Amino acid sequence: MKRVVGGGRGALIRVVLVLLLALGAFGAGRLTNTNSGVLDEAQASISQYGNKGATQELLRRAAIEGMLRASGDRWSSYYGVNEVSTFDQALAGRYTGVGLWLRAGKGGGVEVASVIAASPAQKAGVLAGDSIISAQGVDVSSSSVPVVSALLRGDAASEVSITVVRAGEEIKFTLPRFTVTSEDVTADSLKNGVLLIRVNAFTRGVGNQVADILAKSAHKGGVVLDLRDNPGGLVEEAVAVVSAFVSGGVVVSYERRGQESVVMEAAEGSKEHGSLAVVVNGQSASASEIVAAALQDRNRAVIVGMKTFGKGTVQEPQLLSDGSSIQLSVGKYRTPSGRYLEGAGVQPDVLSPSSKSLVRAISIVTSLNTIAGPGGKG
């Protein structure tokens, strides 16, 4: 089972399953004398007598999303049958869309978590932090991430119009869709032997890619790991990235309600001991915060930039009987030293505005390497 930052089937899932089975019994949308409860009565009444009418699928989504909202957790999401596969494709780094990673907005609705480099969205000027209020003419100001994602995706070479709010101003964009093949890990060898590794998102295979780059690239001057604007992804990949720089030991832990802590540890065998700096900003979230916090707590890296986003809850997929899924929050992450990330984020060791933090990190790594010498611990 894959955990998503951006793993238990509890009472809520049983309630949802019962609700789905009950709703499915009303194929004709007609009131009956069954004892299935007021939820079924409401569904049947809306289907038969409602002024605007509503499909069973729409009512089912509304019921499930209503329960998730009532739980008070803004990170949990419901994915319909078709949305499950597109969500999985995004985590694999390939999908058709406009080049945006989305997240639940702090005040409700959906906002841009990050923008993929060279994508139609970036070229048009969409920015991380923009709140999406309309897509394809549909008001999405109070919609969920899966609903907005579905509207943004479509056939390659088609277009989608969106309206965002930025600093109180509405801005409209018309964006061409394209097939996104995310290059989520890139590397550059800089002067003084410094290796710059940029991780855009923690999609499948990212940990192995980072390890391969380290194995094949000279970096006697140290390493800078750039996680700015990284919205997160799979926690297993975050652990794998940490494993490239440390050998064994705790990376992150979390507690499910009423259960013992789940502890995730780095793999043994890393031989990376050179100086290391990790660059973050206010849009670095979830999995990227796990990496930065673990390396910071273990005195393995200097964290440079601005305080991170503060998204530290565990989501695990709960598959429902019709093939749809709930990404349900089941716990809060804790760093190796016991800190919670949710709402707190990671405070950098060296504060620096995002526009200058990369240069600062390179300078710090170079200085550390000069002081400690090759093989010294950064």
Give me the amino acid identity at 14.
Answer: R
The pLDDT value recorded for residue 318 is 87
252-to-70, 263, 332 alpha-carbon distances in Å: 28, 6, 10
The CATH number assigned to the domain holding 160 equals 2.30.42.10
Same-domain status, 125 and 256 = no
Do 222 and 290 lie in one domain? The reply is yes
Instruction: Calculate helix-pair angle for 145-152, 81-91, nearest 10 degrees.
Output: 80
pLDDT tier, 210 (very low <50, low <70, confident <90, very high otherwise) = very high
pTM value is 0.76
Residue 11 predicted with pLDDT over 70: no
Q: Please, which pLDDT band fits residue 52 given cuts at 50, 70 and 90?
A: low
Per-residue pLDDT band at 28 (split at 50, 70, 90): very low
Can you tell me the mean pLDDT for 149-171?
91
Confidence of residue 51 (pLDDT cuts 50, 70, 90): low
The percent of residues above 90 in pLDDT, for the chain, comes to 47
Question: At which of 181, 205, 228 does a domain end?
Answer: 181
Q: What is the pLDDT of residue 110?
A: 92
273 and 204 together in one domain: yes
In a domain, 246, yes or no: yes
Are 208 and 253 members of one domain? Answer: yes
Do residues 142 and 108 touch, judged by C-beta distance below 8 A? yes
* Confidence category of residue 21, pLDDT binned at 50, 70, 90: very low
Q: Which of 89-98, 253-262, 367-376 has the highest mean pLDDT?
A: 253-262
Q: Which residue pairs from 341-345 have beta carbons closer than 8 angstroms and sit at least 24 positions apart in sequence?
A: 341/289, 341/290, 341/293, 341/310, 341/311, 341/312, 342/310, 342/311, 342/312, 342/313, 343/310, 343/312, 344/310, 344/312, 345/289, 345/307, 345/308, 345/309, 345/310
pLDDT at 192: 87
Locate 258 and state its tokens. 């009423």
CATH of the domain at 315: 3.90.226.10
* pLDDT (0 to 100) of residue 48: 67
Average pLDDT over residues 329-341: 92
Predicted confidence (pLDDT) at residue 43 exceeds the cutoff of 90: no
Looking at residue 111, its pLDDT comes to 93
Give the count of beta carbons closer than 10 Å to the beta carbon of residue 146: 24
pLDDT of the residue at 53: 62
The residue with greater pLDDT, 156 or 55, is: 156
Same domain for 260 and 272? yes
**Closest by Cα among 87, 174, 107 to 135:** 174
Domain final residue pick, 148, 181, 214: 181
| Choice between 240 and 91, residue whose per-residue pLDDT is larger | 240
CA distances from 206 to 92, 212, 278 (A): 10, 10, 16
Strands 313-319 and 261-265: unpaired
For residues 297 and 45, the model is more confident at: 297
* pLDDT score of 132: 96
More confident residue, 86 or 289: 289
Pair (224, 140) in one structural domain: no
Q: How many folded domains does the chain comprise?
A: 2
219 plus 352 within the same structural domain: yes
Query: What is the pLDDT confidence band of residue 279, given thresholds at 50, 70 and 90?
Result: very high
Instruction: Inform me whether the pLDDT recorded for 212 exceeds 60.
Output: yes
Mean pLDDT for the chain?
A: 83
Domain boundary among 181, 197, 217: 181
49 pLDDT tier (thresholds 50, 70, 90): low
Question: Which structural domain, as residue segments, surrounds residue 349?
Answer: 185-372
| Position 281 pLDDT exceeds 90 | yes
267 with 157, same domain?
no
Q: Are residues 170 and 190 in the same domain?
A: no
